[in-house]
Amino acid sequence: MAAIEIKNLNFVYSAGTPFEKHALKDINLTIEEGSFVGVVGATGSGKSTLIQHLNGLIKLQDKKHSSVFVNGMDASKRATLKKLRFEVGMVFQYPEYQLFADTVAKDIAFGPKNMKLSKEEIDARVARALEVVGLDYDKIASRSPFDLSGGEKRRVAIAGVIAMQPKILVLDEPVAGLDPIGREEILALIKKLHEEVSPTVILVSHNMDDIAVLADRIVAISDGRLVADCSPKEFFADRQLVKDIGLDLPMAARITDALVQKGVPLSADIVSLTELADALSALKEGAHV
Amino acid sequence: MFRDVAFGQYYPTGSPVHKLDPRTKLLLTVLFVITIFFIKSYFGFMLTLVVLLAIVIVSRLPIVSVLKSVRGILLIVLISAAINLFVIKDGEVLAHWKIFTITKNGVHTAIKLALRLVLVISGASLLPLTTTPVELADGLEKLMIPLKIIKVPVRDIAMIMSIALRFVPTLFEETQKIMNAQKARGAAIDHGNIFKRIGAMMPVLIPLFVNSFRRADELSFAMDARCYNATDRRTKMKRLKFGWGDAVAALFLLSYTVVILLDRYYFKTVGIDIDLMIFGELL
């Protein structure tokens, strides 16, 4: 069974007013359990609208023709809505702006508490979540989340989501506004979460370098339409498409293009700096032989 | 949740009404609302409805946008009408059951109260629907200028108002975002009884306040950086000017007010009862 199955999804904002916007047009998408999917698209392309359908934050508009199924649950069914939300953990942009409790532990416990777990189970999950995001329980659990640094706040917010131990984790621009070290740390954390906590990860990002390295599949949306659904290599090899939908190439691909222009024979499917380094050193070896 | 709160949302159509001077619209809206409280007869209500429809048509607003504002107060209207219906006990009795008595006077009072409330809200909603928040603040600032004589900081008040108006949609959006984030963690914001819901709002309200203070702080720095209040002689990029349209609008609404006042204070004294002429025995 696929983790996520979306059929003919359409969505229109403010229908019948001057603000009308057709945000999603006939989206069909199946995501297998265990995959790491990168969702890319320009600002306002419909990415956020799409992911909010996954846990019923946005209701299906046309139930007759379209459907969203998550782990076999109909996302439009009210009866299973809570269960759905615990299975799809969603980390929104700037998640630290949702912190509210007076201690870090209480904030992380919010999700598990809503799941009506036992007190022991909640405490265990809070401790485990803090450990996974790399924060020291003894030092931080009883502090106020508002006294932490930006990077720590974001970790706490992410811990609040993974404490529900969701099978599917959706992250919307998780590294926006962080410094370079903070970015690296969060990206490493996401990789770890994919391996240890949530088998299926959906990452929405404007940063093509992150997507190229992390995702094993790319779903590109432009003006509400699904325009590509393939591996990062195939996606970025189509330079024209990437440009047309208003996206950047990963740094490695840009360097490759610049080198190719100077006459260095490199293939267009290089997307990460490691691959580029490998290709270049292979060239150098070849020159020596 | 807030998608349905239409009151105060600007609806751009570029109509002549939209182009009126905001001061004209402010003053005429006040006049319109006050006049509605002077209506006495059903003829007056009908006339008001016609005037309102005329303004809506000239503004090219969809009627739904006005009705949406009414929807918000529908419950209050119904409750107050019902209270009037059962409390007023004088006049001809129409129906009687146990302790409940409905009289002719009660029916009339209830209907008129409901009409009055609906018309006042619809009339007042036209102002934000046809005027941008910035225009409104500019207009208010100009209208308050006389208060400067008694040392009222008119400019600052206007700035506070325009900032407040400017951030209404931002706050709505932000509330929606935080609500979504908490709902994603299983918060029961959209179901349960009223007390449960109020309790469930805390995880939304606390971040909302924290973020608002942070934003206010940032905004004050940004204003400082652009030398806000370094001089008292700030000039305007867009200067307000009265035009012909303003004269026409004022004349239109003034004549409406005159008719309503005549209807209330004069027609009866000279023996004209328009209600009786229109509705006859129905009353």
- Specify the amino acid at residue A125: R
Nearest to A97 among B64, B65, B178 (CB): B178
Q: Is B61 left (phi over 0), alpha (psi -120 to 50) or beta?
A: beta
Residue in A closest to B205 by C-alpha: A100
Inform me whether the pLDDT recorded for B257 exceeds 80: yes
DSSP E strand boundaries for A173-235: 200-204, 217-222, 225-230
| Rounded distance between C-alpha atoms, residue A219 and residue A234, angstroms | 11
| Residue range A264-275, pLDDT digits in tens | 999 888 989 999
CA distance to B20, B24, B36, B135, B241, per residue, from B247 (Å)? 10, 9, 21, 19, 12
Residue in B closest to A170 by C-alpha: B184
| Residue range A17-65, pLDDT digits in tens | 777 888 999 999 999 999 999 999 998 899 999 999 999 899 888 888 8
| Residue range B29-83, pLDDT digits in tens | 999 999 999 998 889 999 999 999 999 999 999 888 888 888 888 889 999 999 9
For B245, the enclosing helix (H) or strand (E) is: helix B244-265
Inform me whether the pLDDT recorded for A250 exceeds 50: yes
SS3 B241: coil
* Minimum mean pLDDT range among A32-36, B3-7, B259-263: B3-7
Question: What mean pLDDT, rounded, does chain B reach?
Answer: 86
Which residue, among A169, A206, A208, A207, has the nearest Cα to A191 in the 3D structure? A169
The residue ranking higher by pLDDT, A109 or B158, is: A109
pLDDT of residue B3: 44
| Residue range A173-229, pLDDT digits in tens | 999 989 999 899 999 999 999 999 999 999 999 999 999 999 999 999 999 999 999
Contact at 8 Å (CB) between B204 and B178?
yes
User: In chain B, what residues touch A162 (CB-CB under 8 Å)?
Assistant: none
Inform me whether the pLDDT recorded for B7 exceeds 60: no
State the pLDDT confidence band at B8, using cuts at 50, 70 and 90. Answer: low
Residue B206 contacts A where some CB pair is shorter than 8 Å: yes
| Rounded distance between C-alpha atoms, residue A34 and residue A189, angstroms | 17
State the pLDDT confidence band at B249, using cuts at 50, 70 and 90. Answer: very high
Q: Is A224 left (phi over 0), alpha (psi -120 to 50) or beta?
A: left
Residue B213 contacts A where some CB pair is shorter than 8 Å: no
pLDDT of residue B6: 44
Nearest to A97 among B11, B188, B211 (CB): B211
Segments making up each domain of chain A, as ranges: 4-249, 250-289
Inform me whether the pLDDT recorded for B192 exceeds 80: no
Angle at B272 between CA B271 and CA B274, to 5 degrees: 150
Question: What mean pLDDT, rounded, does chain A reach?
Answer: 92
Query: Residue B103 — φ and ψ, nearest 5°?
Result: -110, 165
Inform me whether the pLDDT recorded for B5 exceeds 70: no
State the pLDDT confidence band at B216, using cuts at 50, 70 and 90. Answer: very high
CA distance to A88, A196, B188, per residue, from B185 (Å)? 9, 20, 9
- Specify the amino acid at residue B269: T
| A interface residues, B as partner, C-beta within 8 Å | 16-18, 52, 55, 57, 82, 85-86, 88-90, 92, 95, 97-101, 110-111, 114-115, 146, 160-161, 164
Instruction: Kindly state the tokens that stand for A145.
Output: 């989340």
Which residue, among B61, B44, B234, B25, has the nearest Cα to B143 in the 3D structure? B25
- Specify the amino acid at residue A61: Q
Write down the CATH superfamily of domain A4-249: P-loop containing nucleotide triphosphate hydrolases (3.40.50.300)
State the pLDDT confidence band at B191, using cuts at 50, 70 and 90. Answer: low
Beta bridge partners of B96: B101
State the pLDDT confidence band at A143, using cuts at 50, 70 and 90. Answer: very high
Residue B170 contacts A where some CB pair is shorter than 8 Å: no
User: In chain A, what residues touch B65 (CB-CB under 8 Å)?
Assistant: 17
DSSP symbols for A99-123:
--SSSHHHHHHHHHHHTT--HHHHH
pLDDT of residue B148: 84
- Whether A52 sits inside 8 A of B180 (CB atoms) is yes
pLDDT of residue B4: 42
Which residue, among B131, B124, B156, B180, has the nearest Cα to B234 in the 3D structure? B156
Interface test with B, best of A100, A147, A156, A169 (most B CBs within 10 A): A100
Residue B211 contacts A where some CB pair is shorter than 8 Å: yes
Interface test with A, best of B2, B61, B68, B185 (most A CBs within 10 A): B185
CB count in 10 Å sphere of residue A247: 19
State the pLDDT confidence band at A171, using cuts at 50, 70 and 90. Answer: very high
Report the half-sphere exposure of A113 (CA within 13 A, side-chain side).
Answer: 15
